[in-house]
Amino acid sequence: MSCPICKKETDRTYRPFCSRRCADIDLGNWFAGDYAVPSQNPDEALEALEALENGASDPSKPH
């Protein structure tokens, strides 16, 4: 099985991805779908994810 993001060999820790980075990219793609980002470029998806994290309210803030 290969990573759906970069096609490298899957790491069992992060399956079906090869790394935390690719898992984050996939999550970014998932969010990006809501925002209709036209690009399938993983790097741009990662940037979108980082933008979401930067723009989000403090995640450590207790409920």
User: Binding site for Zn(2+), residues?
Assistant: 3, 6, 18, 22
Closest approach, Cβ 57 to Zn ion, in A, equals 29
User: DSSP letter string over 2-59?
Assistant: B-TTT-PBPPTTTTTSSSHHHHHHHHHHHHHHHHT-----HHHHHHHHHHHHHHS--T
51 is a contact residue toward Zn ion (CB under 5 A): no
- Of the candidates 2, 6, 30, 50, which one interacts with Zn ion according to CB under 5 A? 6
Site of interaction with Zn ion (CB under 5 A): 3, 5-6, 8, 18, 22
